Amino acid sequence: MYENYKLESYCDICEAYVKENTKHCKHCNRCCQDFDHHCKWVNNCIGDLNYKIFMMMVTSTMLQFIYTLDCLYQNYNIIQYIE
C-alpha cells in the first residue's frame, strides 16, 4: 500500500518531501495532496481527500437553493391569489 506514496516532490516552504500531485497552498500555508484548488467558501483546499465532501456541499447547497426558489415561487402564487 506504500507504493502510492512516491516522495518525489520537495516543498521549499514546508522543507519536506511530499507526494507527486501535491501543491503548496499559499492560502493555507501548507501542502495539499492532489491539490485541485483553494475554496474560499469552505476556507480550505479542495483536493483528493475532501473533494467528495466538497461535491456533497455543492450538491446540498444547490438543492437548498432550488428548495428556496420553489418556496418563493409557491409563496408568490399565494400572494397573487390573495390579491
Residues with catalytic roles: 39
Question: Which grid coordinates belong to 71?
Answer: 418556496
- Give strand ranges (E) for 1-83: 9-11, 16-18, 23-25, 30-32, 37-39, 44-46
Nearer to Zn ion, 15 or 83 (CB): 15
**Footprint (CB under 5 A) of Zn ion, residues 20-59:** 24-25, 27-28, 31, 38, 45
Residue of the chain from 5, 10, 13, 51 that contacts Zn ion (CB under 5 A): 13
C-beta of 27 vs 63, nearer to Zn ion: 27
- Which set of grid coordinates corresponds to residue 76? 408568490
Judged by CB, which is closer to Zn ion: 4, or 29? 29
Q: Which of 22, 21, 14, 57 is nearest to 39 (CA)?
A: 57
Residues in touch with Zn ion (CB under 5 A): 11, 13-14, 24-25, 27-28, 31, 38, 45
